[in-house]
Amino acid sequence: MSGHDVLIIGSGAAGLTAALVLAERCRVMVLAKGRLDGGSTAWAQGGIAAVLDEGDTFEDHVRDTMIAGCGLNRRETVEYVVEHAPEAIARLAQIGVPFNEEAGSLHLTREGGHSHRRIVHVDDATGAAVQQALIRAAMAHPNITLKPDMVAIDLVTDRHRAHPKGDRRVWGCYALNAATGKVECLTARATILATGGAGRTYLFSTAPRGATGDGIAMAWRAGCRVSNMEFMQFHPTCLYNLEVKNFLITEAVRGEGGHLKIPPGFPGGGERFMPRFDPREELAPRDVVARAIDHEIKRLGLDYVHLDISHKDPDFVRSHFPNIYERLLGLGIDMTREPIPVVPAQHYTCGGVLVDLAGRTDLAGLYAVGECSESGLHGANRLASNSLLECFVFGDAAARDILASWDAFSPPPEVRGWDESRVADSDEDVVIKQNWTELRRFMWNYVGIVRTNKRLERAAHRIALLQSEVAEYYGNVRVTADLIELRNLLQAADLIVQSARARRESRGLHYNQDFPQAQPAARETILVPD
């Protein structure tokens, strides 16, 4: 048992924001699956969207978000997040995030889909600076315990009680302590899922190794509804390099004038192609740009396309993108003089555990915030730099809701410990590796940027086969981190495919060649557990 008031699963922007608010009155335990800074937050390059510029308005930010989301956003959520953005930036500055400034005020950049400059940033490594500041603040707070190397397995629900009562409530989780190899039962009055997305269901992804859909899968198994999982965002510009994986070239390179071109040696070599696809050209929303790149790669048999900002002043490029410039230079690419080879890669999970404006799920005592949740902010496609913003606003909202209704959170009951009396150590780890590789490859091929009914059907058959194989394996061997992740990846993949098959149209990030048109009315896909 943890002996803490609130358990937070995930140590990124959403989890630590909630922890810092709660710690004023509660004892908080924060679990990280690996290192404290191992989640997606530290990887975010671009920045945080907020209305701070003269001439910009909340209504403009709301409209841009709704346009990118293809009308599937919940307007009250978009308004709530947009209106709370400036104070979220102020809180971050207060804990020491060193945002770039110009002439005494915050420097704002612009990204695809935004009608104004409204992206606050720390060079081109905003997420890393935010993550460091949040960890520093959390470590300094006596009411916060940070526990790395804890792999959450399942939520503790009524059926895990010593004397079940039929309540739809959560009291913490079971987690594998990677240091000891033992499973611990961690209970609390309230639990917050801040576990990130499910990017690692795909072969090519900008997400970190741990983005295996853990919170989404755990919440689904516990009885929560899951929404809009078909909307997987593919970032248009991931570096194409056979040695370096997952290196993202930020949206801001296009925002500051970078052009997408056909590589030399092919028809139209050296020419821009985005003007053929959208009047907004390189500043079109990500789904449009990713599909355009995918189209050109398939049409011409390319390995990649070029992203070229070499026509800009070299000092401008180096000062705006110092980390990317240095990293590329180390790989033999000088972005001030030559183009960057790029391909699309899975980047963000727009769907997730269905939540309300306070981050509440269907189960009492359980909240979900950040990328693992579906709050209604992103709709069918996330607008650039709204993701970190969602983490800060909803991390704060969930924490304040818990504090406001604290008397409704009863102390956790007696809970059964983890039973591994009938399992043995695995001698067949090749099963995990084989299934992981197979899953990610067919998800990329069948449930990627462009889908068809037949591809989705094939993916569903393969998922069903793998799930039965893994379920049998899981029931007979002692859990490991890899096995826990594989089980969750398969569950996340199943939810993605179920959602994609249910949507009989193309909208935003979901493009099905068999249903190329959008339906007149935008409707969410909501899956309900049995």
Residue 482's region, left for phi above 0, alpha for psi from -120 to 50, else beta, is alpha
Distance CA 233, CA 482 (A): 25
Distance CA 85, CA 79 (A): 10
Distance CA 380, CA 383 (A): 10
Supply 429's token pair.
């780890």
Instruction: Answer positive or negative: Cα dihedral of 12, 18, 22, 24.
Output: positive
Of 200, 286, 360, 455, the active-site residue reads 286
Instruction: Tell me phi and psi for residue 243, to 5 degrees.
Output: -95, -35
Burial 482-512 (b: 16+ CB within 10 A, else e): ebbbbbbbbbbbbbbbbbbbebebbbbbbbb
3-state secondary structure 14-76: HHHHHHHHHCCCCCEEEECCCCCCCCCHHHCCCCEECCCCCCCCHHHHHHHHHHHCCCCCCHH
Distance CA 384, CA 506 (A): 21
Is 221 catalytic? The answer is no
Instruction: Tell me phi and psi for residue 146, to 5 degrees.
Output: -100, 125
What is the distance between the terminal CA atoms of the chain, rounded to a whole angstrom?
A: 30
Instruction: Answer positive or negative: Cα dihedral of 103, 309, 289, 382.
Output: negative
Supply 98's token pair.
């060193």
CB 365 within 8 A of CB 157: no
Distance CA 129, CA 112 (A): 23
Distance CA 11, CA 312 (A): 38
Distance CA 290, CA 280 (A): 14
Residue 61's region, left for phi above 0, alpha for psi from -120 to 50, else beta, is alpha
Distance CA 267, CA 389 (A): 41
Distance CA 395, CA 19 (A): 8
SS3 83: helix
Strands 48-49 and 119-120, by their bridges, are antiparallel
- The catalytic site residues sit at 286
